[in-house]
Copies of this chain bind each other. A is one copy, B any other.
Amino acid sequence: MTTGRVAQRRAATRAAILDAAWELAHESGLGEIGMRPLAAKLGMAASSLYEYFSGKDAIYDAMFIQGNEALRDEYRHLRDADKTNPREVLIDAARRFIEFCDADHARFQLLFQRSIPGWQPSAEAYAIAVANLEEMRGHMAYIGIADDASADMWTALTSGLASQQVANDPGGDRWLRLVEEAVDMFLTTRGVDE
């Protein structure tokens, strides 16, 4: 039985460790998470962390999953929204994505840049990221944009806007405010004018 007292306590501690890891990432940067400072934040010894995660990489992996789950929730809003107007759907999607990236730089680095030397997401964690991409492609297909080239162009456009926004004007709107223009630009060359 996985819902016993031990399993519950174990899950709670795992969650607490991840919370503390995010805190540390926000304070000192994603790459500056140390096992001893992390353990200290929770009042335990560094070696005790290995009861809950097989190592530092596993902690990054769990954070990667949490981040992608948060992005998936962001796309849920999209799914429930009105889909009659393709232009509005894309504008909403792009805005949400850029704001999602800018809202948490550590998360952005972890999810979309290979920022931790030597680390890469596990197959299980990567699957969630792929599923998110698939969901986005599904939304685009629904509004009549189904070819691969268009999907690739869309990912390039949105990821470019987001990375520029995060890197060069964090918290601002220098690239965020270009979303409408970008979507119009994207749509006019695709024969899907509203």
The answer, yes or no, to whether A185 is at the interface (CB within 8 Å) is: yes
16 A/B residue pairs, CB under 8 Å, sorted by A? A30-B117, A31-B118, A32-B117, A113-B115, A117-B117, A152-B175, A152-B178, A153-B178, A153-B182, A156-B182, A158-B160, A160-B160, A160-B161, A184-B189, A185-B189, A188-B188
Judge whether A149 is part of the interface by a CB distance below 8 angstroms. yes
Q: Is the interface of A mostly helix, strand, loop or mixed?
A: helix
Given contacts A114-B115, A189-B181, contact A156 B153 (CB under 8 A): no
Q: How large is the interface on A (under 10, 10 to 19, 20 to 34, 35 or more residues)?
A: 20 to 34
Does A66 lie at the interface of the complex (its beta carbon under 8 Å from any beta carbon of B)? Answer: no
Q: Is A132 an interface residue (CB 8 A)?
A: no
